[in-house]
Amino acid sequence: MSLSIRNLTKSYVEPGGRRLPILNVDSFDIADAEQVVLVGSSGGGKTTLLNVIAGVTTSDSGQVVIDGTDVTTLSEPARDRFRALKIGYVFQTFNLLPAFTALENVLLGMSFSGRKVDRSHALELLERVGLNHRLHHRPTKLSVGEQQRVAVARALANRPSLLLADEPTANVDTANQDNLLKLIREACTENSVSLMLVTHSQDVASQFDRVEKLSDFNMPEAAE
């Protein structure tokens, strides 16, 4: 699916009431099945941008059109439905449900979409991220890197059309980094998924054709 952002602004309001501009993006596009890496300094707004695209956070103004739907016009429940059906999101903080096992987290991700729960697909994904020996562990019983791998499996479980991955290999060793990246890239290539992946790793970024630096297209100070 394609992504088209126009005139997007987002600010946070500080406790004292002062507005803190974070995003001001005139124009940013991802073509159908295109794989894009997003880099930029810490605190620059990368996670905020992904949250706005995913409809987890609302913007102040502008359009975020995903496959013909401007998600900024949707109600919160409609955004949740749209996300469950179309978007896979590997959150920077994973956001796994603590009361549920690794396998249950992936299965619940499937059930939210309203599609048939495909247990064998969930098991296959968890095996591909190297967690078939940790299926029944809850997040607190998993290492941070293992939690990250569950988050990647969950994000792919619904066969999304757009995958957002926020530093998805930040907490794993090199072997797991390579394995996760291979899985993400194969899943995207095989199913024509558009990918937006945030990383601080030069090694990861160098594997992609299109690398965008946030500060090259985001001018928050100009939004004032």
Ligand X SMILES: Nc1ncnc2c1ncn2[C@@H]1O[C@H](COP(=O)(O)OP(=O)(O)O)[C@@H](O)[C@H]1O
DSSP secondary structure, 43-112, as one string: TSSHHHHHHHHHTSS--SEEEEEETTEEGGGS-HHHHHHHHHHHEEEE-TT----TTS-HHHHHHHHHHH
**Interface with ligand X, residue 134, by CB under 6 A:** no
**Interface with ligand X, residue 10, by CB under 6 A:** no
Q: How far is the CB of 91 from ligand X (least distance, A)?
A: 11
> 93 or 192, CB closer to Mg ion?
93
**Interface with ligand X, residue 12, by CB under 6 A:** yes
The answer to whether the beta carbons of residues 66 and 79 sit under 8 Å apart is: no
Footprint of ligand X on residues 26-65 (CB under 6 A)?
A: 40, 42-48
In sequence order, the 6+-apart residues with CB closer than 8 A to the CB of 175 are none
Footprint of ligand X on residues 62-81 (CB under 6 A)?
A: none
Q: How far is the CB of 168 from ligand X (least distance, A)?
A: 13
Q: With CB cut-offs between 5 and 8 Å by kind, which of ligand X, Mg ion, none does residue 43 bind?
A: ligand X
* Gap between the Cα atoms of 164 and 220, Å rounded: 22
Q: With CB cut-offs between 5 and 8 Å by kind, which of Mg ion, ligand X, none does residue 222 bind?
A: none
Footprint of Mg ion on residues 78-97 (CB under 5 A)?
A: 92
Angle, CA of 184, 83 and 155, to the nearest 5°: 25
Footprint of Mg ion on residues 38-77 (CB under 5 A)?
A: 46-47
Binding site for Mg ion (CB under 5 A): 46-47, 92
